Amino acid sequence: MGDRRAVVTGIGCVTPIGTGVQAMWDGVKKSESAVRSIDRFTAEGLRSRIAAQVTDFDPIQYMDKKRAHRMDRYSQLSVAAGSLALEHAGIRPENAEQERVGIFMGSALGGIAFAEEQCGQYYTGGYRSVSPTLGFSVFGGAASCNMAMAFGFNGPNETNSMSCASGAVAIGRALQSIRRGEADFILAGGAEAPLSPLSFGAFDMLRAMSTRNEAPGRASRPFDRNRDGFVMGEGAAVLVIEDEAHAKARGATILAEVGGFSVSNDAHHMSAPLPCGSQASRALRQALADADMSPDDVGYINAHGSSTLLNDVTESLVIRSVFGSRPVAVSGTKGLYGHPLGASGAIEAAITCMSLSDGWLPPTTNLEDPDPQAQLDLITGDGRSVQADAALSNSYGFGGINATLVFRRV
């Protein structure tokens, strides 16, 4: 069982820069930020009034009206991304061995936006005005459970809530499950729908979000000297993580191998990284060891790059501590689609896989004046046409969570 290898055979995305893997990848190559002024709700009185919104999502394209009506936006995004991933992988759910298919998802806030909406209904109209679906819509596990019911998959199923590392952790757990022989393939990723007044306002009060309201498209700027905070986003991404032998037997196209994974905790502060970055460095080293690789094997890092003052400096320190003076290409892609919290690690894993498959490394959008504290080989301009053999994707989150995924070109 320990010799089983996990590969990526499908990607499904619903993001501010595109829906579907090709549209998302085209959006990355276009390198144009999707951040705009919020129109989902009135942001008057908030310091930050910008976000990366998914503007073209219609759940009826992915499920019937009855099923869509029983889900909040968070679960709808999950099912849609899962449907797109299965389609991309060439898998028809009814033809799969249902008990051999798992689902691992991640989300920082789950269905909190729907709960917030229903609180308003309660305060104005009492109990009878509240949706009867509230109780089973807002818990985090609604994502993976709704996906299981939509596709009929009975294998291992869970949704973690490890803040902004949730999507990466879900993919890492899928790797471990494949290695243990628990499933033939797993839908793994993250989903987030946090753009509601109270949820957004709570982050605004933390003063961690950008206030570049007059220039939204330039607000999310990882590793830039003039960054002033992250930009909240929404979306979902799901990867089909498949046992390599199973994938080859059905003639699947393999995009990349999931080579390694590790997670650690700073045990330091709920919202600030450990300044020395030692535990994030340990996670990175352990992920490489899990993949039986060394830093010299890595050709690209998709950084967490949240565009916050503390995270970008600490992540730079982490990368330098592991790679030393050896230059390794780095980019932070949140300049395009903001920070969709628990979905970000899954979206960035998808981008990393496409980078390996396509032989092109994306630039760091809005990087105009690199922070001198970064001291990294940051990709700018039109990106780089480079065929990297292996790549990392870092994800960090509230509570001191550090997660690193290792991908290999196949």
**pLDDT > 70? residue 302:** yes
Number of Cβ within 10 Å of residue 288's Cβ equals: 23
Find the catalytic residue in 88, 145, 246, 304: 304
Number of Cβ within 10 Å of residue 261's Cβ equals: 24
% of the chain exceeding 90 in pLDDT: 98
Report how far residue 70's alpha carbon sits from residue 64's, in angstroms, rounded to the nearest whole number: 10
Query: What is the tens place of the pLDDT at every residue in 60-69?
Result: 999 999 999 9
- CA-CA-CA-CA dihedral for 366, 371, 372, 378, to nearest 10: -40
Report how far residue 102's alpha carbon sits from residue 178's, in angstroms, rounded to the nearest whole number: 9
Find the catalytic residue in 145, 246, 339, 353: 339
- pLDDT at position 147, please? 98
User: Nearest to residue 193, comparing CAs of 113, 247, 131?
Assistant: 113
Measured over the CA atoms of residue 249, residue 254, residue 259 and residue 260, the dihedral's sign is negative
- pLDDT at position 2, please? 56
Provide mean pLDDT across the span 210-218: 98
Return mean pLDDT, the chain.
Answer: 97
Report how far residue 342's alpha carbon sits from residue 143's, in angstroms, rounded to the nearest whole number: 12
Query: What is the tens place of the pLDDT at every residue in 135-180?
Result: 999 999 999 999 999 999 999 999 999 999 999 999 999 999 999 9
Q: 88 catalytic, yes or no?
A: no
Report how far residue 34's alpha carbon sits from residue 204's, in angstroms, rounded to the nearest whole number: 20
Provide mean pLDDT across the span 115-127: 93
Beta-carbon-side half-sphere exposure of residue 132 (alpha carbons within 13 Å)? 1
Query: What is the tens place of the pLDDT at every residue in 36-61?
Result: 999 999 999 999 999 999 999 999 99
Q: 164 catalytic, yes or no?
A: yes
**pLDDT > 50? residue 277:** yes
**pLDDT > 60? residue 214:** yes
- pLDDT at position 1, please? 42
Query: What is the tens place of the pLDDT at every residue in 227-275?
Result: 999 999 999 999 999 999 999 999 999 999 999 999 999 999 999 999 9
Residue ranges of alpha helices (H) inside 271-385 are: 278-290, 309-323, 334-337, 344-358
Q: 69 catalytic, yes or no?
A: no
Query: What is the tens place of the pLDDT at every residue in 8-19?
Result: 999 999 999 999
Residue 22 pLDDT class (50, 70, 90 cuts)? very high
Find the catalytic residue in 145, 164, 246, 353: 164
- pLDDT at position 3, please? 78
Query: Residue 83: what residue type?
Result: S
- pLDDT at position 174, please? 98
**pLDDT > 50? residue 278:** yes
% of the chain exceeding 70 in pLDDT: 100
Map out the domains of the chain with their CATH numbers.
6-249 (3.40.47.10), 261-408 (3.40.47.10)
Both structure tokens of 194: 């946090």
**pLDDT > 80? residue 190:** yes
